[in-house]
């Protein structure tokens, strides 16, 4: 996975995770990148310092404001809504359909659905671009 610092045309900074730099280029070219703050599709890479891992344990987002978690949850939900509103749902045929699209045997289009961990691993091993969809909000019956 590759993490890019991104910025929209309205100067909102955010991050994006991609399976490869080609995934970023493809999504950018197709206008699929969207600012989680304002919804703008005028998104580009921002300058980013390299991440160097060390042996010291670090707390997540040191000094981050308390509303950061809420903002990230809203961004994840915006991504999910975008996918549900704009991609074809193929259910448990996801692995088969993703492979068919990748091999040119099915119409090129964005899809989403369900796949087992083994199916996802096989797709990734074969170079088929896939990414997990952020989880939806909990159902009311799942909350206390």
| pLDDT at residue 49, as a whole number | 58
Q: Is 94 exposed, middle or buried (0-12, 13-18, 19+ CB in 10 A)?
A: buried
Q: What pLDDT is recorded for position 141?
A: 63
37-73 as b/e: b if 16+ CB within 10 A: beeeeebeeeeeeeeeeeeeeeeeeeeeeeeeeeebe
pLDDT at 106: 94
Three-state SS at 7: strand
Report if pTM > 0.75.
Answer: no
What lies within 8 Å, CB to CB, of 77 at 6+ separation is 134, 136, 137
Ranges of H-type helices in 14-116: 21-29, 68-86, 94-102
Query: Can you give the pLDDT at residue 59?
Result: 46
pLDDT tens across the length of the chain (144 residues): 688 889 989 888 888 888 888 888 888 888 888 888 888 889 998 876 565 555 555 444 555 566 777 788 888 888 888 999 999 999 999 999 999 999 999 999 999 999 988 999 999 999 999 988 887 776 666 555
Judging by beta carbons within 10 Å of its beta carbon (0-12, 13-18, 19+), is residue 119 exposed, middle or buried? Answer: middle
């Amino acid at each position: 996975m590759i993490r890019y610092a991104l910025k929209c045309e309205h100067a909102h900074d955010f991050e994006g995770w991609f399976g490869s730099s080609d995934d970023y280029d493809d999504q950018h070219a197709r206008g699929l990148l969207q600012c989680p703050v304002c919804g703008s599709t005028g998104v580009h890479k921002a300058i980013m310092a390299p991440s160097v891992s060390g042996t010291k344990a670090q707390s997540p987002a040191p000094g981050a404001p308390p509303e950061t978690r809420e903002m990230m949850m809203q961004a994840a939900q915006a991504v999910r809504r975008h996918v549900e509103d704009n991609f074809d749902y193929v259910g448990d045929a996801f692995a088969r359909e993703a492979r068919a699209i990748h091999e040119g045997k099915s119409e090129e289009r964005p899809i989403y659905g369900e796949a087992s961990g083994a199916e996802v691993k096989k797709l990734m091993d074969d170079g088929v671009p896939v990414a997990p969809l952020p989880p939806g909000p909990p159902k009311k019956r799942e909350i206390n």
